[in-house]
Structure 1
Amino acid sequence: MQLHLEDHEAHLLREVLRSYLRELRGEIVDTDNVGYKRTLKHEREVLDGIAARLDETPDHDEPVITRIVRVSAVWTDDL
């Protein structure tokens, strides 16, 4: 599967992943169920790999949002 992301989309996805991974690390520490902990660790590994691949792509410090405005003017000499 291939997914093309615009720069601002990749930036947003990186931020969401980083936030989720921080929360996931805390959940892993707080979980006593060994099977569930193993599942969460596997999820963390997969998401860490995705985040690392996103970090390899060029990034702008701020998301790029483009606004396109169309301006039309009609001038007539019909006075």
Structure 2
Amino acid sequence: MGEEHLLRLGTRPEAGVCLDCAQHLHRRAKELADRQRPFPTPASIVRAATRSVRDAVLSRGWHDHPAVGSALRRIDRFLP
């Protein structure tokens, strides 16, 4: 993977993250922020539901199915 495919982390130019990893880190950061809130927001409820569906798909291996997997990965790019 070339340099043009990495995101640099602001004041830490030695740290680079690929786009897929950056998206995963963003989701994890939102999850952590949701857990630290004193009460759930509507957006955090939607993210939790999306996360549980995503976990179910991964645990069943549906993302590896040739016909269904590509569609699921495409949809996943637009989910919180």
TMscore range, shorter length: 0.3 to 0.5
Q: Greater relative contact order: 1 or 2 (C-alpha under 8 angstroms, separation 6 or more)?
A: 1
Which has a greater percent of strand?
A: 2
Q: Which has the larger radius of gyration?
A: 1
Give TM-score, length-normalised by structure 2.
0.37
